[in-house]
Amino acid sequence: MPQSRTRIAVVAPASRIQPALAQEVAALAEALAPGRVELVFHPQCFLTSGHFAGTDEERAAALIEAANDDGFDAVWFARGGYGAGRIAEQACAALTPAARRKTYLGYSDMGFLLAGLYARGCAVAHGPMPADLRRSGGEAAVARALRYLADRAPDTLEPHLDGKSAAFNITVLSHLLGLEIEPDLTGHVLMLEDVSEHMYRIDRAMLHILSQRRMRGLRGVRLGRVSDVLPNEPDFGEDEEAVVQRWCGRFAIPYLGRADIGHDAGNKIVPFGEPR
């Protein structure tokens, strides 16, 4: 294992976190790897502006500051919610070369930023966030994220990685199609997950995603967990795998099976592009 110290900036481009959570995650990091990981929670994480952890300007400024600071090895997104899409184009346009010398980690609503940062040549990965500590078994998820950022520990990675990959929340990917931040996923295996949606909405988002002509260039699709599905009236008649398989079949995109990602403590890391 490399013994260098890893400096990680934490910012919250969507919803806020509580200071107590930051303290617990910092303590966990110190317990896991004494003296080897430094977590710096940007004060913006604790701001409040309606739904968000500060105004769009405050959230974008914190992200840009962290991304362009050569003193950090990584930017870790504190939690999801909603709000990253509102600052993604602006933040991605303000990146300097220092932003491309670090790794970005998060998932769910952070897909807006994973997309835009990857499109601009940054190293991004889909995986757990500090707020996952509050999940059942969440300590393992947070530890996995820290071990990936500090050591690239192989057992933190999604086990099917092979060639170029990318991972997204289905609903978030549907909402970034056509934006300037949309990355070119040609030749990638696309891993997908979602939470708290009706099955008809999963179906509608898959229709939207895979109907895009440029998605014909995907090497394949893998389905992570679709959890806490809301009741469908009437019953939808298909589960999430049947839905995704059907849409893949419609457009002759290979369906490759399940992926070990999702809104849960088991959520494995998916680095975008070639495995790193």
Q: By the criterion CB under 8 A, which residues form the site for a copy of itself?
A: 48-51, 82, 85-86, 89, 174-180, 199-200, 203-205, 207-208, 211-212, 232, 234-238
For residues 6 and 171, which CB has a smaller minimum distance to a copy of itself in the complex? 171
Q: Which of 125, 154, 130 is nearest to 143 (CA)?
A: 130
For residue 258, report the phi and psi dihedrals to the nearest 5 degrees: -85, 160
At closest approach, how far in Å is the CB of 57 from a copy of itself?
13
At closest approach, how far in Å is the CB of 49 from a copy of itself?
7
What does the alpha-carbon distance between residue 142 and residue 1 come to, in Å, rounded to a whole number?
19
Q: Which helix (H) or strand (E) holds 176?
A: helix 170-176
Strand order in the sheet with 103-106: 37-41, 6-11, 74-77, 103-106, 123-126, 270-271
At closest approach, how far in Å is the CB of 77 from a copy of itself?
17
What does the alpha-carbon distance between residue 264 and residue 99 come to, in Å, rounded to a whole number?
29
Q: Which pair of structure tokens corresponds to residue 237?
A: 């008649």
At closest approach, how far in Å is the CB of 227 from a copy of itself?
18
For residues 33 and 117, which CB has a smaller minimum distance to a copy of itself in the complex? 117
For residues 35 and 235, which CB has a smaller minimum distance to a copy of itself in the complex? 235
At closest approach, how far in Å is the CB of 127 from a copy of itself?
22
Inter-axis angle of helices 111-119 and 84-93, to 10 degrees? 20
For residues 152 and 175, which CB has a smaller minimum distance to a copy of itself in the complex? 175
At closest approach, how far in Å is the CB of 83 from a copy of itself?
8
For residues 10 and 173, which CB has a smaller minimum distance to a copy of itself in the complex? 173
Q: What is the DSSP string of 202-245?
A: HHHHHHHHHHSGGGGG-SEEEEEEEESPBPPSS--SS-HHHHHH
For residues 46 and 82, which CB has a smaller minimum distance to a copy of itself in the complex? 82
